[in-house]
Structure 1
């Protein structure tokens, strides 16, 4: 560690302190989904002026920061389209009002969301729908570059949707290429997919129309096992490819909250294993995802789908100790009381196997349904929290940074500069200041190397900086103290 001894106006001197006793922040994942399909969260409607689109997105990110969330899960591929410039898929109709039509002037919502989130201490995970090719009720015609036009044999019609056939290798390869294009080009913290694998059954429980690929396979498996095999293979490939290219990028899945009815015994509901062909228990047991966010969208006291009972079951399926961050149905507030969600968070905190929550969806919090947002700020998320470290991705903590400070006479502020002393990339700096016996903590992006601090009536007693690497491991704090 290297520190500079500083003299402020020849009156206040700061020097090195080896054990600053800085308070450690809670490790808790606090996420929210931003859905773009059907303009659920953003943008408020298709075809808005660019300035309005940016303003709305910035307002959502600012709101998340005020709520002391630490991650946003941003839907960038609702239906084989793109909320970012892509050579593989057309621009989304939910952005511009017409599939394939670029915003004018062209801008990049994903890059903007990443930059704005990181500036505010939030992770940004890119959320993909790997198989849905067209949403029910889509208004315009598909773009000439949409996969339903370029490779129509891969796309099936089902219950008003268009769906990639998961058993077609070309369909899986296409979706994987789309995901890896984002991993390669963008500084995302995570890749996320939700609960849509094979489509949810229609009211007549019609079979998915994959007769061609089934007959072509000549498989000796049962048709259900054959379908699951393709989903399992795809999940494993995504996990492996992401970590081959960028080992620190987390891969997360938010499966339907019930694996199978009767697991555990009291649970009733849809059989995701046999109807969506999603064996999420296998993926968790094998460690093919870095975090599992089962959509536990039911109430605590609902015996057939009890939130704490299901959370405990998912924990028991997690021998490799991957992150368990249940999804909460915050959008259900009104008619539910907001206390249902706050109690679910409290249940999660008491459980030794779960370390956070994800809210469906961000709008439910920003609209403050039944004062849910207010309750989160005033009672639940009163202090900032760090995303739990992913030790299986990297268990090596970075070295403490070198910190220097000097008085900026022109600005009448303390200028604090720092640098990393490690070759390992730094994702975040945890900046902490103690003034009048009170600590204030702020997370800054890893590319930042300077901060200005305006003293109040008294100068800070301690200025502390901690490095956090791409996997969330923290260094020893480096600090200056007032002599």
Structure 2
């Protein structure tokens, strides 16, 4: 057999037998998020009139599905149309949760606190997703609560198309929203605050967003309408970031803008795209400025097009955002809802979505992905889910560290007690309010200086007031484990090796 053929044969054989490792990188730190949309009950709850038990069951199905897929964050919409999924001083109860806006006759416990607790117990970050400016979803205002801003502050509203919007140029609107951010960050153990792409509304042909009076009264001399509108959004972003960090500096702030900043045809810095609308020119949002000024912890552009779509290629836009990011973690927003459900035939392919994840992994400036939306993979396309789990999400991953967090080195966390029972190994640690999770790894004979994701056995949430960690006996593998601790900023402590056979009571029969 010729030498070249022998080489080809051996490579083929090695590959088929699993000798060659995958070329897809498997990072230890990667943001793996999913948007859980509540507006008009897209993902959850299925119906505002469902019982609390049914709503809880459906929410846990989402968490369990994505935990099984080794995701590490859920981004849950808690303010969709001037409402709230929690008891708020500033907004009425959402009808999408309770069935009737402004009323909550069924949830006896705090639904948001419950959701956060359930996410944390599964090792998932919880990011509270808010829509700042959309006041209604349609023109049926009769269903709105008397406490809704449409009724209490009608001068804040601008009718545009088939919805009402808050007027972003009014100082009172910004003050109100800053109060909402403060309330949410202070009252709940959230890991992040998240805005989506709805700032000024997407342009509707022959419609006028009537904020001319506010522009006349509030703009600077010689400031154009377009620049004034952008300055209003800039101010909201800056104030939101400052408010969050003043209260809890470890809570991250992220925005998921529309995927095209500008086309190159209108600005040399723009992308090689032909988008009909852009985030800068139509939505009056300038995320490049926000990144430059350090007003974000992460940005997640919504690049919902296929890899090679001519007018707005996913590949082109991922590369553009990678080259135009600064001071900020960059995650890619992926349109999983289009898989086998779109006129673009590229989405018919099983590997379209996985190949988008592959591109993100191979782009150094990209640190993760967020999927829209939760039900997209849960309800259809099990072959895509199976492929993603096998090739991309086989091992767990930790979320990236928060930019702007304290920079001191991760300290050692002292384990001052170890007790083995029939079901748990309970560790007592020197109390540290900054610690949020204990990480348990399988450890070999060597030191645990290189703890890889595939060695991670469990991620255990630690309540703020607790100094104990209960490790289920079912996850304890081998003779040794390594334990590290993760603080709220996402920094991991140095490992402690535990020799299980040296712990009193370990291995005893029940």
Is 1:445 matched with 2:461? yes
Is 1:463 matched with 2:470? no
CA contact (8 A) 1:333 1:370 kept: no
CA contact (8 A) 2:396 2:456 kept: no
TM-score normalised by structure 2 residue count: 0.84
Distance 1:354 1:455, change over 3 A: closer
Distance 1:137 1:463, change over 3 A: farther
Equivalent in the alignment of 1:58: 60
CA contact (8 A) 1:395 1:473 kept: no
Equivalent in the alignment of 2:369: 357
Superposed CA offset, 1:413-442 (max 9, x none)? 562313146x45112111123489994521
Distance 1:117 1:105, change over 3 A: closer
Which of residues 432, 439, 442 in structure 2 aligns to 1:430? Answer: 439
- Find the aligned partners of 2:239 and 2:154 in 1 and give their Cα distance: 24
Which of residues 373, 386, 390 in structure 1 aligns to 2:402? Answer: 390
Aligned pairs, number: 453
Question: What pairs with 1:42-441 in structure 2 (closer than 5 Å)?
Answer: 42-136=44-138, 140-204=142-206, 206-217=207-218, 219-220=220-221, 221-262=223-264, 263-269=269-275, 270-320=277-327, 322-335=328-341, 336=347, 337-369=349-381, 371-403=383-415, 404-408=417-421, 411=422, 413=423, 415-420=425-430, 423-434=432-443, 439-441=455-457
Distance 1:374 1:455, change over 3 A: closer
Question: Once the 2 structures are TM-superposed, how far is the Cα of residue 398 of structure 1 from its aligned partner?
Answer: 3.6
Question: Once the 2 structures are TM-superposed, how far is the Cα of residue 91 of structure 1 from its aligned partner?
Answer: 0.5
CA contact (8 A) 1:99 1:140 kept: no
Equivalent in the alignment of 2:496: 478
- Larger relative contact order (Cα-Cα within 8 Å, sequence gap ≥ 6): 1
- Find the aligned partners of 2:492 and 2:158 in 1 and give their Cα distance: 48
CA contact (8 A) 1:338 1:370 kept: no
SS at match of 2:394: coil
TM-score normalised by structure 1 residue count: 0.89
SS at match of 1:51: helix
Superposed CA offset, 1:124-150 (max 9, x none)? 000000001001265852111000111
CA contact (8 A) 1:300 1:307 kept: yes
Equivalent in the alignment of 2:5: none
SS at match of 2:74: strand
CA contact (8 A) 2:84 2:92 kept: yes
Distance 1:251 1:452, change over 3 A: closer
Question: Once the 2 structures are TM-superposed, how far is the Cα of residue 444 of structure 1 from its aligned partner?
Answer: 0.9
Distance 1:245 1:266, change over 3 A: same
Distance 1:60 1:282, change over 3 A: same
Distance 1:459 1:349, change over 3 A: closer
Distance 1:160 1:265, change over 3 A: closer
Distance 1:381 1:420, change over 3 A: farther
Give the structure with the higher percent strand: 1
Question: Once the 2 structures are TM-superposed, how far is the Cα of residue 391 of structure 1 from its aligned partner?
Answer: 4.3
- Find the aligned partners of 2:250 and 2:420 in 1 and give their Cα distance: 37
CA contact (8 A) 2:28 2:398 kept: yes
CA contact (8 A) 1:397 1:469 kept: no
Unaligned runs of 5+ in 1: 1-23
SS at match of 1:75: strand
Unaligned runs of 5+ in 2: 1-25, 342-346, 447-453, 503-510
Question: Once the 2 structures are TM-superposed, how far is the Cα of residue 87 of structure 1 from its aligned partner?
Answer: 1.7
Question: Once the 2 structures are TM-superposed, how far is the Cα of residue 455 of structure 1 from its aligned partner?
Answer: 6.7
- Find the aligned partners of 1:214 and 1:317 in 2 and give their Cα distance: 31
Q: Which moved more, 1:445-454 or 1:222-231?
A: 445-454
Question: Once the 2 structures are TM-superposed, how far is the Cα of residue 305 of structure 1 from its aligned partner?
Answer: 1.2
Q: Which moved more, 1:108-117 or 1:188-197?
A: 108-117
SS at match of 1:125: strand
For the aligned residues, what is the CA RMSD? 2.2
CA contact (8 A) 2:262 2:271 kept: no
Question: Once the 2 structures are TM-superposed, how far is the Cα of residue 338 of structure 1 from its aligned partner?
Answer: 3.5
